[in-house]
Amino acid sequence: MAERVLMTALSPTMEEGTIVNWNKSEGDAVAAGDLLCEVETDKATMDYESTQEGTLLKIVRGEGSSSRVGDTIAILGEEGEQIDSLVEESTASAQKPSPQAGPTESEREAKGTTPAAAPAADDGARVKASPLARRIASERGIDLRRISGSGPSGRVVRADVESFSGEGAEDRAAAGSGVSGRGEDVTIPVSGKRAVIARRLAESKFSAPHYYLKSSVRMDAAVRARKELNAEIPQKAGFNAFLIKFAAEALKRHPRVNASWQGDHILQFGSIDIGLAVDLGNGLVTPIVRDCGNRGIVDIDHALRELVEKAGDGKLQPQEYTGATFTISNLGSFGIEEFTAIINPPGSAILAVGEIAKTPVVNDRDEIEVAQIMKMTLSCDHRVIDGAEGGRFLHELKRIVENPVRVLF
């Protein structure tokens, strides 16, 4: 008997998914455990493994289609089985807009805001590629069909696009070099990932009473420590690994900051799991290095590199980006001096760090000298962290950064 294949929640936070690629075609036999399709969730691209058996009679939601959890995406059954009624019901259900959906096509036409139609895709020539690889290729004017993928089953990943030396980008740049008048307005659809990020940030900002603590810290000793360490190891450790280690040591001494508001109680975490905000171009993801309190800088750096690479290729698993007990956001590479960040639940604090800049300072002898200064801003949830506790934590973190030997105390 024919049965529907429903979009399931492939991560704890997933409410909607976009089908990136179908690994089975209509008429193919499907067994339980077979890879049916790849689905882009709010944070990563996940494999959808079938829990049902039968013949794939109908693909209801094609590649590039978004579906809410619980929607029908395909129909399985016995070969030759009549499924017209099921297809009709499923198609009608899929066409119903969600409560938060944007304007319909007819509404956009009435307002004159209908986006330009995209060229029809040749399904038979569709290239397997990660969402990030597709975005980068689009920005650079590169035809994905010209790239050999190094990922699983020939999938094109970010590194493949970035290393491609074709002429697509140059042609695109040349085509756009002419002088033109005012450009046209562009309607950018909100992806499922962006919608989820927007909702969570709003919930965090408006439900958690934020307050902010700022401090300027001398980075000379930390910069020297990193230089000395990197002279002793094969692969240079990134600065973010040092920040994570320093924050973990400060959290060990002020565990009340490593906690979460649970409504009727505060949960103080037994493990220090620190997330680092990473920009994917179409949204943020926070890969998490687990148990940072018991790991060294080199170990943290290796783990972080692997997680960031997986994030770029859309391959992070839910357990690798959910449940951070503390978060760091670093915009120093963009020349940002200081900023405030929104807390990433379930944690109750996030540290925002800016660039390291040479700055004139007054030393203990009342002399002016040049020092490398970095500004830190700690956002705290006042329900969990009182001002004095947040101040003690940030003060301890500053002392560790300015004198890294304190991690040995």
Residues with a catalytic annotation lie at 382
Length of the chain, in residues? 409
211 CB-near residues (< 8 Å, 6+ apart):
379, 380, 382, 387, 390
Which tokens go with 188? 């950018």
Q: Which strand (E) or helix (H) includes residue 368?
A: strand 368-381
Which tokens go with 165? 């030396």
CA distance linking residue 72 with residue 297, whole number of Å: 47
Question: DSSP letter string over 209-239?
Answer: -EEEEEEEEE-HHHHHHHHHHHTTSSSPPPH
Cα Rg, the chain, nearest whole Å? 25
Phi, psi of 122 (to 5 degrees): -90, 100
Instruction: Give the CA count within 13 Å in the CB-facing half-sphere of 273.
Output: 21
Q: How far from each other are the two terminal CA atoms of the chain, in whole angstroms?
A: 68
